[in-house]
Amino acid sequence: MAEKKQVVTYSGLKKIEEELQDLKVNKRREIAAKIKEAREQGDLSENAEYDAAKDEQRDIENRIEQLETILKNVEVVDEDEVDTDVVGIGCTVKVFDYEFDEEVIYDIVGSTQADIMNNRISDESPVGIALKGARVGEEVTVEAPDGEFKYRVLDIKRQEI
């Protein structure tokens, strides 16, 4: 089965590449030093530091594999070519949230870049799906696990890098 395309902005691609480089160069070196130090403490069967270091090493290698898979299947959205007539990946969209009676600004990104704490939502999330393709002035209904809510699109622009 073919891997799913991972859609990212150019800035998102750079962040993935930087994280991968840091993991391969710095984190691997750090964890090797931790493992070496733990081995020097003697009996590995009851060495919590050794077990913790090996667990950390496994996590780092899993993340490296994850990032390499993303990069093999990446599709980069050029922010300069983003259509600001409709909401899509690479857009910053200002909406009016009827439920909370307030304006909210979201960056629409691919799933690998999503960060809800910083209002970076995936185009595959319920809000992203509802907003995708909407134009300024349109109302959209979001089908979410905790019910339906509505937004009105107020403005669409390209994301700032």
SS3 of the chain: the string is CCCCCEEEEHHHHHHHHHHHHHHHHHHHHHHHHHHHHHHCCCCHHHCHHHHHHHHHHHHHHHHHHHHHHHHHCEEEECHHHCCCCCCCCCEEEEEEECCCCEEEEEEEECHHHCEHHHCEEECCCHHHHHHCCCCCCCEEEEEECCEEEEEEEEEEEECCC
Query: Confidence band (pLDDT; 50, 70, 90) for 152?
Result: very high
- List pLDDT tens digits, range 84-131: 899 999 899 999 999 999 999 999 998 888 999 999 999 999 999 999
pLDDT of residue 39: 85
pLDDT at 161: 61
Instruction: Please give the class, per CATH, of domain 6-77.
Output: mainly alpha
User: What pLDDT shows up at residue 112?
Assistant: 87
What are 124's strand-pairing partners? Answer: none
Domains of the chain, by residue range, sit at 6-77, 79-158
Distance of CA 24 to the CA centre of its chain: 20
Q: Which of 110, 129, 130 is nearest to 120 (CA)?
A: 110
pLDDT at 1 over 60: no
pLDDT tens digits for 47-87? 788 889 999 999 999 999 999 999 999 988 877 778 889 99
For residue 2, pLDDT beyond 70: no
Torsion, Cα of 31, 36, 39, 45 (10° steps):
20
CATH topology of domain 79-158: Chitinase A; domain 3 (3.10.50)
Which pLDDT tens digit goes with each residue over 33-44?
999 988 888 777
* Calpha distance 84→152 (Å, rounded): 16
Residue 80's pLDDT is: 74
